[in-house]
Amino acid sequence: MVVLLAGSLGLPLAPAMAQNAQARKTANVDLQARLKEVALDPKLSASVVKTGRQVASFCAHCHGEGGNSAISSVPNLAGQNPDYLIEQLRQFSDGRRRNEFMEGMIKAMTSDEKVGIVMFYAGEKVAHKPAANAALAARGREYYHKVCWQCHGSDGRGNEHFARIAGQQPDYLRLSLKQYKQGTGARVNPIMANFTKQMSDNDIEAIVVYVSSME
């Protein structure tokens, strides 16, 4: 479906991605180590983030300007933790996380494009959206602060190990929680499988409303 969307929009490959067509053999690069190396070197970091910003103009078709998505089923990337994002890019490229469009596109990116893009998005701010339903949000808040905060933080912003989920798009949150819960193989993670197994559809709706409204 997303492939059809991209095709029907007639999306061109970002210029930076097209120019680097010769340098695609990045599968063996340790992305986490490269991210650390780049982050510690201000000059290198400025040039890698510049590349990331160029590539982001392509991602913006779906993920929105600065990573604030305007499509509820497409995640925000703004304010997301770089280590988490790098890990997701790796999961798309080795098939642990399945999405046909994202898998294809990530194979076309060099390691420095990946590092640059996650550093670029980490520096962007998430736009706040108030909760649509105050009663559901209150239920979601209660659930969240019993369970989810332990890893995603009491403010929902995660840390270097865990994803930021505060302000995430509602349809995307619902889809992700159901993917973990149903265990169809689209998204596999034993920790999240365990936590979502205990959630009813009503719990999921309440969490979606609350988490998407967190700042």
- The distance of closest approach from Cβ of residue 131 to ligand HEC in the complex, given in angstroms and rounded to an integer, is 15
Binding ligand HEC (rule: CB under 6 A), the pick from 176, 205, 206, 212 is 176
Contact flags string 100-139 toward ligand HEC, x per CB under 6 A: -xx--x-----------x----------------------
Stretch that binds ligand HEC, among 28-36, 41-49, 60-68, 122-130 (CB under 6 A): 60-68
Q: 87: buried, middle or exposed (CB in 10 Å: 19+, 13-18, 0-12)?
A: middle
Contact flags string 69-88 toward ligand HEC, x per CB under 6 A: -----xx-x-------x-xx
- The distance of closest approach from Cβ of residue 2 to ligand HEC in the complex, given in angstroms and rounded to an integer, is 5
Binding ligand HEC (rule: CB under 6 A), the pick from 31, 48, 89, 214 is 89
Q: Which is nearer to ligand HEC, 43 or 142 (CB)?
A: 142
* Measured distance CA(153)–CA(171) in Å, rounded: 21
- The distance of closest approach from Cβ of residue 198 to ligand HEC in the complex, given in angstroms and rounded to an integer, is 8
* Measured distance CA(121)–CA(77) in Å, rounded: 6
Q: Which is nearer to ligand HEC, 29 or 151 (CB)?
A: 151
Binding ligand HEC (rule: CB under 6 A), the pick from 16, 31, 115, 165 is 165
Interface residues with ligand HEC (CB under 6 A) are 2, 5-6, 55, 58-59, 61-63, 74-75, 77, 85, 87-89, 99, 101-102, 105, 117, 147-148, 150-152, 162-163, 165, 173, 176-177, 187, 189, 191-192, 195, 207
